[in-house]
Amino acid sequence: MTTHAYGWIGLGNMGEPMAANLAQAGFDVLAFDAAGTEARLPEGAQAARSSADVARGADTVFLSLPDGRVSLAVIAEMMATNDRRAGTVIDLSTIGTQAARDAADACAAGDAVFIDCPVSGGQVGARAATIATMWGGSADLLEIHRPALAAISKNIFHVGDEPGMGQTVKLLNNFLSATTMAATSEAVHFGLSQGLDMQTILDVVNVSSGRSYGSMDKFPRHVVPETWDSFFDMALMAKDLTLFEESLNAAGTHNRIGQLIADVWRQAHGVLPDADHTEIYRAIGGETGTTKRSG
């Protein structure tokens, strides 16, 4: 009996800890990262020399990449690989609804299956294997790969049968997260201007109706101590919100708030281009320039 081999392409802030959890759970993992595989390779995984090598050596390939352009380029390389072994591509990246559909078409043309499966929970969740995964694809195929997903995710959701459905849930989730983070930042700055203490504001809000994940987790962990180390960049949040805005426009649904929030984050990225996303607090407060993140 042949062991099912998993490939992993993308060993960044999210990809490396997820791949590490998969390898530590006893799965065969063949990994590659264009920025340097050996330096990022998790213990227990094997190094590949390219995405094509991963496609030759693995039955199923996980992707954890920055955006849709990169995912589509990697998929094109894998589909064009001679003696390719990989028949399933599971993309954990946030690439947008249309890119997921394009990726599914590209895989189908190569006689492979594409699964749209973005994740949420941040680097802390990725390391603790507590992230949420949003599977957009065959329910039967999900059951086949559920043991592997369970090694990296505590909350596994089958959100629909079609590629793009996972992206839809992920984008609306990030929109809600971005909205509460920006709104909390604006509210706290207002409170400070009236002589209140930040911790007092948070103490009251977090036992009241205005509480959110931003006020309960991100502010205490990253804003109050000024560590700015959530390992999710402002650029990525601005990118995700632009994808959400584009999806709203394509769907023809209400987009007044979506456009407003996307503009807020794009402007914040413009004044703090290298910042952690929790530094939206600094941008709303009028700060500009170099990031202050610790480390």
Determine the angle formed by the axes of helices 198-205 and 165-193, rounding to 10 degrees. Answer: 130
Question: Whole-angstrom Cα distance, residue 292 to residue 272?
Answer: 10
Q: Which two tokens stand for residue 243?
A: 């994808």
30, β-bridge pairs:
7, 46
Question: What's the rounded Cα separation, in Å, for the pair 135 and 154?
Answer: 13
From CA 9, how far away is CA 31, in angstroms rounded? 6
State residue 145 phi and psi, 5-degree precision: -100, 5
Question: For residue 277, what are its two tokens?
Answer: 């996303």
Catalytic site residue 170?
Answer: yes
Catalytic residue among 154, 170, 218, 292: 170
- Concatenating the DSSP letter of every residue in 29-81 gives EEEE-TT-HHHHPPTTPEE-SSHHHHHHH-SEEEE--SSHHHHHHHHHHHHT-
Residue matched to tokens 């400070």: 192
Of 191, 175, 177, 278, nearest in space to 228 by CA: 278
DSSP letters of 203-271?
A: HHHTTSTT--HIIIIIIIIIITTT----S-BHHHHHHHHHHHHHHHHHHT---HHHHHHHHHHHHHHHH
Q: Are 103 and 163 in contact (CB under 8 A)?
A: yes
Give dist(CA 83, CA 127) in Å, integer: 34
Q: Which residues are catalytic?
A: 170
